Amino acid sequence: MKALAKLQAAPGLTMTDVPMPEVGHNDLLIKITKTAICGTDIHIWNWDEWSQKTIPVPMHVGHEYVGVVAGMGSEVQGFKIGQRVSGEGHITCGYCRNCRAGRRHLCRNTTGVGVNREGAFAEYLVIPAFNAFPIPDDISDDLASIFDPFGNAVHTALSFNLVGEDVLITGAGPIGIMAVAIAKHVGARHVVITDVNDYRLELAKKMGATRAVNVAKEDLKAVMQELHMSEGFDVGLEMSGNPQAFRQMLETMNHGGKVALLGIPPSNTAIDWNQVIFKGLEIKGIYGREMFETWYKMVALIQSGLDIRPIITHHFKVDDFEQGFAAMLSGQSGKVILDWQ
């Protein structure tokens, strides 16, 4: 079958031919319809330090997808051939304490589809049936293909009560922008998002941000005054992984504020801990999506009128994958979808 793989320890990906994956007795075979390009795939494309340490070569990558069930192992129940599915890309062990308690997103032995094992940029993908998530008929293939990053946004945004709160989101990448729409949808008052990329800030405005602030040109504290926010933000969602953005968030939080961290900063990032202590901030780290609460919430949010369609800015046939990666690398994109059919 056709697959988009890292064939050499070097930048780029190659369209290649690989054997069909084997279907174990608890597995689903999924025929891939659409995939989306994640920031992680860009790290892998660039072959940065993290990818060099993490990605086995040769291996095909990718973990954002939608497809249809094309086969299943003998033990699998509850799925039908032809059914549309996406899937949780974190494969959990099932035997650690958190897994056994139903807190699968906290599994200490998680492996990643398209990171530690073969991925979804291929004609077929095999995952444990446990990880597959059925897609209702009223949710499009385009939306289902981005459930993985949408789930990051939902998991982070719904970590704290946002009703009537003023929310700061740092980082207008695809996940930060989706978080804007979610926060507005569930009843936040002001949702302010920061970035240094005007294209993405414009998109965030389209998705409902009260103010989209380019922190390279504009003073966030002046924006807060303009919005009559004399005390600070109630909830912060860090979605840039940029240390400066995180520090700015801590400075502009109100006392008793709550902060959820999704962005992945360099491991030696320093902050002013006095901001955390004397303000009594609550800080929560976010990894992946809750299995499977986040997935049910994603469906429910869309079915209750949340519109995240504008985040999908580019579509390409998979044979034109180089154009897709170029769009992502340019920074002038939201989500980029590759069509496998």
- CA 222/CA 298 separation, integer angstroms: 34
| 106-135 footprint of Zn ion as x/- string (CB under 5 A) | -x-x--------------------------
Q: Given its phi and psi angles, is residue 27 left (phi above 0), alpha (psi -120 to 50 degrees) or beta?
A: beta
Q: Site residues for ligand NAD, window 153-182 (CB under 6 A)?
A: 170-176
Report the nearest approach of ligand NAD to the CB of residue 23 (Å): 28
Is residue 315 part of the annotated active site? The answer reads no
Whether the CB-CB separation of 233 and 252 falls below 8 Å is answered with yes
Q: Which two tokens stand for residue 122?
A: 């291929």
β partners of residue 126: 29
Q: Which position among 1, 23, 42, 93 is part of the footprint of Zn ion (CB under 5 A)?
A: 93
287 labelled binding-site residue: yes
3-state secondary structure 192-222: EEEECCHHHHHHHHHCCCCEEEECCCCCHHH
Q: Rule CB under 6 A: say whether 200 interacts with ligand NAD.
A: yes
Q: Site residues for ligand NAD, window 58-117 (CB under 6 A)?
A: none
Is residue 43 part of the annotated active site? The answer reads yes
| 202-221 footprint of ligand NAD as x/- string (CB under 6 A) | -------------x------
- CA 238/CA 20 separation, integer angstroms: 39
Q: Which of 43, 54, 313, 315 is flagged as catalytic?
A: 43
Report CA torsion sign: 52, 55, 56, 57.
Answer: negative
**Binding residues for Zn ion, per CB under 5 A?**
92-93, 96, 99, 107, 109
Residues that bind ligand NAD (CB under 6 A): 39, 152, 170-176, 194-197, 200, 215, 239-242, 244-245, 262-264, 286-288
Catalytic residues: 40, 43
